[in-house]
Structure 1
Amino acid sequence: MSDTDITPEDFGPARHGVHIFEDEDGDWFAYGHHSARRIAAAMNHAIREVRPGERTGITLEHVRADMRQVWGNGVVQDSDGIWWKICDPDDAGAFPFTVVRF
């Protein structure tokens, strides 16, 4: 897999216009740079898809405090999933993503 092969769909289905997934450590990754409000809505939507009726506890304030908008490249796909490294926006193959770590 080359740097240019990553797509929004690799981050999961769009929820509130955001392709987002939660990893096994509870960190959230979204393709692109989005507002904290949109990220919080997408996170809550994703949680409710797998645990209907559960209160998520994710608030806009939590997301604002723990959200980082960064760039990635060096995409590698293996049996554990898709991985990349953080880079500068002007590096070859750079793509925007947002990470939320609580």
Structure 2
Amino acid sequence: MSGSLPADVNNFLDFIGMNIKASGGFVWNERDRIKSDMMRERGRWSPSRVSPEALRNKCEEIGMTAEDADKVTNWLRSTQAGKQLRPRYIRDYSWHQPPTP
């Protein structure tokens, strides 16, 4: 899967994008929400569902800078490799929509 994202990931990132626009940038709470969901819902972010390229494209589409999109893509790669991410403050966040095929 290289060109598109599942609906749940797409909707989650649209939510993040609304918050980026409202706050004027990719701030700590949005970073923590992404990291927390990646840790709590690993199946949502599996390689069979989310490619780094599709995620990076969506990140730029929702208003992240190229540098921020690279960070999120690196978090995805780490998650998919079984590594831990460390959200700073928000550790128990999961996007409410269950993974969709």
Relative contact order (alpha carbons < 8 A, sep ≥ 6): 1 or 2 greater?
2
Normalized against structure 1, the TM-score is what?
0.33
Structure ID, larger Rg: 1
TM-score normalised by the chain length of structure 2: 0.34
Higher helix share: 2
